Structure 1
Amino acid sequence: MCTERYPMSIDMELRHLRYFIALAEELHFGKAAARMHITQPPLSRQIKELEKELEVTLFARNNKVVKLTEPGRIFLEHTRRLRELLDQAIKTTRKAQRGEYGRLAIGYLGGAAYHLLPNVLRHFRDNHPDVEPVLHEMITLEQLEALSRGGIDVGIMRPTYGLDECNSEVILRERFVVALPSNHKLAGRHEIHIRNLAQEKFVMLPPTPGGGLYRQILKLCLRAKFEPKTVQVATQTRSIVGLVGAGIGISIVPSSVQRMNISNVVYKRLRGVRSYAEMVIVWRKDGETPVVAQFLRAVREAAASLTPLERS
Structure 2
Amino acid sequence: MSIYDYLEFRHLRYIVAVAEELNMTRAAERLNVVQSNLSKQISDIEDLFHVKLFLRVRNGVQLTSAGQSLYIRAKQLLELREETINSLQAVQDAETKPFRLGFSQFVEHAVLQTVSQAYREMFPKGVVKLEGDDTDALLKRLEASELDAALITLPFSIDKLRSQALFHERMVVCLRRDDPLASKEELDTADLDGKLGIFSDAHHHPTAHARLLEMLSEQGIKPRTFSPTFNLEQIQWMVEQQMCIALIREHEVLHESLTTRPIKGVNWTIDSAIIYRQTDAHGAISLLLRDLARRYPDADAEVRRKPPQSIKDDPGLFEEEDAALKNG
TM-score, normalized by the shorter chain, greater than 0.5: yes
> Aligned-pair distance for 1:141?
1.1
- SS, match of residue 131 in structure 1: coil
Instruction: Work out the CA distance in 1 between the residues paired with 2:234 and 2:140.
Output: 24
8 Å contact kept, 1:213–1:277 = no
Instruction: Return the match for 2:189 from 194, 197, 205.
Output: 194
Partner amino acid for 2:279? D
- SS, match of residue 271 in structure 1: coil
Instruction: Return the match for 1:298 from 287, 291, 294.
Output: 291
Alignment of 1:104-253 (within 5 A): 104-208=99-203, 210-230=205-225, 232-236=226-230, 238=232, 241-247=235-241, 248-253=243-248
Instruction: Work out the CA distance in 1 between the residues paired with 2:135 and 2:298.
Output: 25
8 Å contact kept, 1:170–1:281 = yes
Instruction: Work out the CA distance in 1 between the residues paired with 2:296 and 2:106.
Output: 15
Residue 306 of structure 2 corresponds to: 310
- SS, match of residue 262 in structure 2: strand
Partner amino acid for 2:222? E
8 Å contact kept, 1:177–1:253 = yes
- SS, match of residue 251 in structure 1: strand
Instruction: Work out the CA distance in 2 between the residues paired with 1:237 and 1:141.
Output: 20
> Aligned-pair distance for 1:197?
0.4
Deviations, residues 129-177 of structure 1 (Å, cap 9, x unaligned): 2221122222211211221333321111122343212122333223221
8 Å contact kept, 1:109–1:156 = yes
Instruction: Work out the CA distance in 1 between the residues paired with 2:139 and 2:233.
Output: 23
Residue 315 of structure 2 corresponds to: none
- SS, match of residue 163 in structure 1: coil
Partner amino acid for 1:238? L
> Aligned-pair distance for 1:202?
0.8
Instruction: Return the match for 1:276 from 250, 269, 273.
Output: 269
Residue 16 of structure 2 corresponds to: none
Aligned pair count?
A: 217
Instruction: Work out the CA distance in 2 between the residues paired with 1:153 and 1:206.
Output: 27
Deviations, residues 214-262 of structure 1 (Å, cap 9, x unaligned): 22322222122132122x122426366445455342222343xx23465
Alignment of 1:73-112 (within 5 A): 96-97=90-91, 100-101=94-95, 102-112=97-107
Q: Sort the Cα spacing of 1:189 and 1:287 in 2 relative to 1 into closer, same or farther, 3 A.
A: farther
RMSD after superposition: 3.2
> Aligned-pair distance for 1:266?
2.3
TM-score by length of 1: 0.58
Instruction: Work out the CA distance in 2 between the residues paired with 1:216 and 1:300.
Output: 26
Identity of aligned residues (%): 15
Deviations, residues 186-234 of structure 1 (Å, cap 9, x unaligned): 234332222210130413201337423322322222122132122x122
8 Å contact kept, 1:104–1:292 = no
Residue 58 of structure 2 corresponds to: none
Q: Sort the Cα spacing of 1:262 and 1:298 in 2 relative to 1 into closer, same or farther, 3 A.
A: farther
Unaligned runs of 5+ in 1: 1-92
TM-score by length of 2: 0.56
Q: Sort the Cα spacing of 1:233 and 1:192 in 2 relative to 1 into closer, same or farther, 3 A.
A: same
Based on CA coordinates, which of the two structures has the bigger radius of gyration?
Answer: 1
Q: Sort the Cα spacing of 1:250 and 1:287 in 2 relative to 1 into closer, same or farther, 3 A.
A: farther
Residue 260 of structure 2 corresponds to: 267
8 Å contact kept, 1:243–1:249 = no
Instruction: Work out the CA distance in 2 between the residues paired with 1:282 and 1:240.
Output: 30
Unaligned runs of 5+ in 2: 1-86, 309-328
Instruction: Work out the CA distance in 1 between the residues paired with 2:273 and 2:132.
Output: 15
Residue 52 of structure 2 corresponds to: none
- SS, match of residue 278 in structure 1: strand
- SS, match of residue 284 in structure 2: helix
Instruction: Work out the CA distance in 2 between the residues paired with 1:97 and 1:282.
Output: 21
Instruction: Work out the CA distance in 1 between the residues paired with 2:140 and 2:233.
Output: 24
